[in-house]
Structure 1
């Protein structure tokens, strides 16, 4: 089953006094690009995270964001006494040099960055890694489920438009049978007019001209190749692999055959149908840009 390249998942895991939120979201991208954002203290699990994601996702830009929240609240704060004492001593020295009274209120000093900090609970790295990776795998299942559901909707729309193209192609095949005959009639009318004006015309040349026209405007090969591409497109859509690039290539081939048909057919009805087919192909192209 095909998968969309867009998806989202959020998981929350408790690790000691920390609450960790893991967000996974993705957007379209030609290749696989994994971006992980997390606090520097936990960067040791970044490569492990990327390795797990690579096993589950083949294409797209994948953003993994880890947010950490300390649950200790105010009771989880502590004063850096060494830094506070240093600041008090420095303020006294400055006061003596300037012949001023040294400040006795330390409330403002407590606002200095680094004086009051959150307590850090020591957690083993292996425990952190196991908890994060386990939650990540759960998130990836939810993430992929969303991508599968979206992929199914894309598949249904693509198959509908492929059926429309087949119906339009049937109209081209019907019109193809009348192209040469219409040309024969028009050419015959011109020849008849020339004869009424007393001009002679070689009948064998007339037949040669009709045969040359029939060969020049023949679109049988293009129709056969187009039908083959449509069959292969359906097969590819129904495979379980990462098929976005192959579908894009097949659509290019479909467009190439349709353009050739339009340029060779030399018929108004066929030209009109070609425009309709190209319109449906463009809608398919927009859809497959989102397929992994």
Structure 2
């Protein structure tokens, strides 16, 4: 079954300490075109992330975004400058004694004096532990992308096979009309023979050789057979389990070559009309193949 190269997948983990979110987007591309954006503490994991994406998605223009956000209560921690607190408290206590004031609020006042409470940013000391949380989220997002691609691929399969079926119908019309075309050519040839056979310069052997060449040049039987085979091969390839986008592109080129040859050799207005319609269907197929994995 076909898979689209267009896809989206995401995963998220929320804890009391932090939030991790992963988003992966994919568009069509001739090869793997991958961009990765991660927090600084995961910079040494980029190679591993790239391998995971390459293995899972194979081809496409892919962007991976990993965001790691600590909760506000976890971003910084308060520390107490004990020496400075003690100095403030002693000084405030001495002043209170001199003024005979109540000392009940002195500790609270000292605690909120300048530079007693200091904030220290927490270091990412557990990068390996964080990575163990990020890795399954990336896998989950990749599975989401592939599910998206598979669903898109089902629609593409239905659409492309409708174009292939239309080409088959048109080819059947060509095959149906071909005897009429051949008989028309024979009638014209008989008329020409009647005109030139009376000439004293008429060479029967040369004439027969040229007629054989002429008839072979107009014969489209082989092209019709090859086109049928290409259409059958295309259909078989569509339903293979592995990625087949590039192979289908090559087969569509062969289909186009046979259609063009039928058009150029037929020398018939009705068949030319069917050929034009087949080319239109083939162009629709080629447009969709550009987005097939």
TM above 0.5, yes or no, is: yes
- In 1, the alpha carbon distance for the partners of 2:195 and 2:227 equals 40
Aligned to 1:278, the other structure's residue is in SS state helix
Deviation for aligned residue 1:189: 3.3
- In 2, the alpha carbon distance for the partners of 1:78 and 1:130 equals 24
Note closer, same or farther for the CA distance 1:200–1:15 as it changes in structure 2 (3 Å cut): farther
Asked if 1:284 corresponds to 2:285, the answer is: yes
Kindly name which structure, 1 or 2, has the bigger radius of gyration based on alpha carbons: 2
Match of 1:242 in 2: 243
Unaligned runs of 5+ in 2: 79-117
- In 1, the alpha carbon distance for the partners of 2:284 and 2:119 equals 56
- In 2, the alpha carbon distance for the partners of 1:34 and 1:226 equals 38
Deviation for aligned residue 1:130: 1.3
Note closer, same or farther for the CA distance 1:36–1:25 as it changes in structure 2 (3 Å cut): same
- Of 161, 168, 171, 1:169 maps to 171
Over aligned residue pairs, what C-alpha RMSD do you find?
A: 2.7
For residues 184-223 of structure 1, what are the structure 2 equivalents within 5 Å?
Answer: 184-192=186-194, 204=204, 210-223=211-224
Deviation for aligned residue 1:35: 1.3
- In 1, the alpha carbon distance for the partners of 2:20 and 2:120 equals 16
Which of structure 1's runs of 4+ aligned residues deviate more than 4 A? 190-195, 198-210
Aligned to 2:63, the other structure's residue is in SS state strand
Note closer, same or farther for the CA distance 1:118–1:245 as it changes in structure 2 (3 Å cut): farther
Match of 1:37 in 2: 37
Match of 2:17 in 1: 17
Deviation per residue, 1:75-96 (Å, 9 max, x gap): 84579xxxxxxxxxxxxxxxxx
Deviation for aligned residue 1:201: 8.9
- In 2, the alpha carbon distance for the partners of 1:250 and 1:117 equals 66
- In 2, the alpha carbon distance for the partners of 1:47 and 1:9 equals 20
Residues matched between the structures, number:
255
- In 1, the alpha carbon distance for the partners of 2:134 and 2:183 equals 73
Would you say the 8 A contact 2:10–2:140 is kept in 1?
Answer: no
- In 1, the alpha carbon distance for the partners of 2:186 and 2:244 equals 46
- In 1, the alpha carbon distance for the partners of 2:199 and 2:54 equals 78
Note closer, same or farther for the CA distance 1:142–1:151 as it changes in structure 2 (3 Å cut): same
Deviation per residue, 1:230-267 (Å, 9 max, x gap): 11111110011011100001001111111111111111
Would you say the 8 A contact 2:167–2:281 is kept in 1?
Answer: yes
TM-score (norm 1): 0.78
- In 2, the alpha carbon distance for the partners of 1:151 and 1:5 equals 9
- In 2, the alpha carbon distance for the partners of 1:208 and 1:71 equals 90
Unaligned runs of 5+ in 1: 80-115
Match of 1:111 in 2: none
